[in-house]
Homo-oligomer: A and B are copies of this chain.
Amino acid sequence: MNASTSDFPTGSTRMSEQMSDALPPSEQHVRQYAAVRNAHETELLEDYVELIGDLLKYQGEARSTDIAARMGVSQATVSKTVTRLKSQGLVDSQPYRSLFLTEKGEAMAEMARRRHAIVLQFLRALGVSDGTARIDAEGMEHHVSRETLEVMERFTRERGRD
Which residues of A line the B interface, CB within 8 A? 1-5, 7-9, 11, 13-18, 20-24, 26, 28-36, 38-40, 42, 46-47, 54-55, 58-61, 63, 65-66, 69-73, 111, 113-118, 120-121, 123-124, 126-136, 138-140, 142-153, 155, 157, 162
A117 contacts B15, C-beta separation under 8 Å: yes
> Which residues of the other chain, B, contact A157 by a CB distance below 8 angstroms?
14
> Which residues of the other chain, B, contact A20 by a CB distance below 8 angstroms?
116-117, 120-121
Binding site secondary structure of chain A: helix
> Of all chain B residues, which has the CB nearest A122?
B126
A23 contacts B55, C-beta separation under 8 Å: yes
B2 contacts A70, C-beta separation under 8 Å: no
What is the CA–CA distance of A117 and B65 in the complex, to the nearest angstrom? 41
How far is the CB of A60 from the nearest CB of chain B, in Å?
7
> Of all chain B residues, which has the CB nearest A29?
B70
B30 contacts A70, C-beta separation under 8 Å: yes
> Of all chain B residues, which has the CB nearest A73?
B33
What is the CA–CA distance of A111 and B116 in the complex, to the nearest angstrom? 27
> Of all chain B residues, which has the CB nearest A124?
B16
B151 contacts A127, C-beta separation under 8 Å: yes
> Of all chain B residues, which has the CB nearest A66?
B2
> Of all chain B residues, which has the CB nearest A132?
B147
**Which of B5, B16, B133, B153 has a CB less than 8 Å from the CB of A130?**
B16
